[in-house]
Structure 1
Amino acid sequence: MLTLPVRQLGESERRAVERLLDLDPYAGAQVAERVAARGLAWWRAEGRILGYGPRRNLESICWLGGNLTPVLASESAVAAFAEQLSAEERLCSSIVGRADAVLGLWDRLSAYWGPARDVRPNQPLLATDALPAVAPDPEVRRVRSGEVDRLFPAAVAMYTEEVGVSPLAEDGGRGYRRRVGDLVRAGRAYARFVDGKVIFKAELAVVTRRTAQVQGVWVAPEWRGRGIATAAMAAVVRDALERVAPSVSLYVNDFNRPARRVYERCGFRPVGTLATVLF
């Protein structure tokens, strides 16, 4: 019997949710962006936020939408969230967040939601609030609205390589193309073009008042090993810090040594470890 049952949170508890998100601004960035944009009303938020703890002292939250993301979830909160979720059909495409919480949830939910397509248990979470010491690549710039067609093939290649499935599979890529277009129009997509083709790309996939979170970093295969990624990332970090947010963050697979070296050269420091379960 749970002494602190999980409950769905509404707009009246938005301030308490925002307080928790401020305590974990990097791991909770995706949730913070959604709350800032749409609030907690389920019919606006395209997902639900579950809470754990007394009404006057909310302890942990869990976003349930396209992704499942626990924030500041203690062991008891993980057990409570898992008990609630085990009775529901899985609708999310992944579980992502602080590694201890994600792996704890999956340990309890795998019998109900399994099998997973992939489990990535060790993804260093990195952040910086300082301009990179390395010189930025002057050819890296924000993608213009008329260049979505040029960016999209690179975005598809990155997604397929990173996630293991093509974003074109479910609806012919219409939803993913809308997402890429939205990032371009918001000034959050960067690329370097050579002869009209993208050889480097990255996006500020999540932006909050605390951080801009970089995702989708990709170098064209034929350009890898030439040393372009460090200066290219330095350009992204510099623009994001000067124009968008007071810090830049990202997470990376632990086995991706080349990428980790690039981020270290650009001034990123460890701020935790995430894990991802992919379905």
Structure 2
Amino acid sequence: MLTVPIRQLGEPERATVERILDQDPYAGAQIAERVAAHGLNWWRSDGRIYGYGGRRIESLCWSGAHLVPVCATSPAVAAYADLLGAESRICSSIIGRADAVLELWDRLGGHWGPARDIRAHQPLLVADRDAPVAPDPAVRLVTLKEVDQLFPAAVAMYTEEVGVSPLLDDGGRGYKRRIAELVRGRRAYARFLGDRVIFKAELAIVTRRTTQVQGVWVDPEFRGRGLAAAAMATVVYDALRRVAPTVSLYVNDYNAAARRVYARCGFVPQGSFATVLF
């Protein structure tokens, strides 16, 4: 039995949800994008939003393909874990502010374990102005006719970053649809060398407060040549003018090369994320 107030939220609580998401627009970006697109009717967006608090909701937790806590204090985390631990795991990862994610996993691991990987410290970085690096004019938005050229690079990035291939479940059809959606939405960037993609990045999440960059990748043959900083400068330049007032991302703490690139591009720390992968 839950000993604290927690409940699933619906469309009548939309203003409350948006208020809390605005308190942490980076950790809440994934939820904010879904709420803007689908509202709070969970059956339309394959997930549910729970709120913690009495008369005034204090925090949120999105439960769907990912589990995402936002503004979750330790009592809120305990409440979410009590609720979710009674159910079978449906999420493929737990993502968010490190303190909340790691406490959630401490409480849920006995029910849902084991995890495939735990990334306990992923610096959250944000840029709100142009990079102090000249943009690379060869980096541009990918066109729909170039999806087939982009896809192998996207598969290579995903496999390297996540540790499993996106081709395993359905031969990659769902992942390719996602890549095509990003291209169609003018959210995929690349630098081509002939028909070969040697740099890529996507705006995986877009809200009115930020756009979150994911899928940053440089062809292994071209790493260490200084290509990434200028390429990311182009992404930041375009995203700030066309998409959102800030550009955000999170990076594995052990990826020293990527962290140097983002620092050169003017990204500044805004705390730490953690990710638990299943």
Instruction: Measure how far apart 1:4 and its partner are.
Output: 2.5
Task: Identify the residue that residue 18 of structure 1 maps to in structure 2.
Answer: 18
Helix, strand or coil at the partner of 1:68: strand
Task: Give, in whole Å, the separation in 2 of the partners of 1:187 and 1:196.
Answer: 19
Q: Give 1:185-204 correspondences, 5 Å limit.
A: 185-204=184-203
Task: Give, in whole Å, the separation in 1 of the partners of 2:44 and 2:2.
Answer: 30
- For structure 1, the residue ranges without an aligned partner over 5 or more in a row are none
Task: Identify the residue that residue 4 of structure 2 maps to in structure 1.
Answer: 4
Task: Give, in whole Å, the separation in 1 of the partners of 2:224 and 2:145.
Answer: 30
Q: Give 1:1-279 correspondences, 5 Å limit.
A: 2-54=2-54, 56-279=55-278
Task: Give, in whole Å, the separation in 2 of the partners of 1:27 and 1:2.
Answer: 25
Contact 2:2 2:83 survives alignment (8 Å): no
* Letter in structure 1 aligned against 2:277: L
Task: Give, in whole Å, the separation in 1 of the partners of 2:148 and 2:228.
Answer: 23
Answer with 247-256 or 2-11: which moved more.
Answer: 2-11
Instruction: Measure how far apart 1:6 and its partner are.
Output: 1.9
Helix, strand or coil at the partner of 1:193: strand
Task: Give, in whole Å, the separation in 1 of the partners of 2:59 and 2:2.
Answer: 15
Instruction: Measure how far apart 1:169 and its partner are.
Output: 0.3
* Letter in structure 1 aligned against 2:116: R
Task: Give, in whole Å, the separation in 2 of the partners of 1:43 and 1:212.
Answer: 25
Superposition CA RMSD, Å? 0.8
Task: Give, in whole Å, the separation in 2 of the partners of 1:38 and 1:104.
Answer: 29
Equivalent pairs: percent with the same residue?
A: 71
**Alpha-carbon displacement from aligned partner over 1:125-178 (angstroms, at most 9, x marks no partner):** 000111111100000000001100000000000000000000000111111011
Helix, strand or coil at the partner of 2:18: helix
**Alpha-carbon displacement from aligned partner over 1:167-226 (angstroms, at most 9, x marks no partner):** 000111111011000000000000000021000000000000000100000000000111
Task: Give, in whole Å, the separation in 1 of the partners of 2:3 and 2:67.
Answer: 23
Instruction: Measure how far apart 1:2 and its partner are.
Output: 4.1
> So what's the TM-score if we normalise by structure 1?
0.98
Task: Give, in whole Å, the separation in 1 of the partners of 2:214 and 2:91.
Answer: 19
Instruction: Measure how far apart 1:3 and its partner are.
Output: 4.1
Helix, strand or coil at the partner of 1:59: strand
Contact 2:199 2:218 survives alignment (8 Å): yes
Task: Give, in whole Å, the separation in 1 of the partners of 2:174 and 2:65.
Answer: 13
- Number of residues of Structure 1 aligned to a counterpart in Structure 2: 278
* Letter in structure 2 aligned against 1:200: F
Task: Give, in whole Å, the separation in 1 of the partners of 2:90 and 2:127.
Answer: 34
* Letter in structure 2 aligned against 1:113: W
* Letter in structure 2 aligned against 1:188: R
**Alpha-carbon displacement from aligned partner over 1:63-84 (angstroms, at most 9, x marks no partner):** 0111000000000000000000
Structure 1 segments of 4 or more deviating over 6 A?
none
Helix, strand or coil at the partner of 2:263: helix
Instruction: Measure how far apart 1:46 and its partner are.
Output: 1.4
Helix, strand or coil at the partner of 1:13: helix
Instruction: Measure how far apart 1:42 and its partner are.
Output: 1.5
Task: Give, in whole Å, the separation in 1 of the partners of 2:256 and 2:212.
Answer: 20
Task: Give, in whole Å, the separation in 1 of the partners of 2:266 and 2:272.
Answer: 17
* Letter in structure 2 aligned against 1:163: V
Task: Give, in whole Å, the separation in 1 of the partners of 2:6 and 2:83.
Answer: 7
- For structure 2, the residue ranges without an aligned partner over 5 or more in a row are none
**Alpha-carbon displacement from aligned partner over 1:82-112 (angstroms, at most 9, x marks no partner):** 0000000001000000000000000000000
* Letter in structure 2 aligned against 1:197: R
Task: Give, in whole Å, the separation in 2 of the partners of 1:250 and 1:274.
Answer: 10
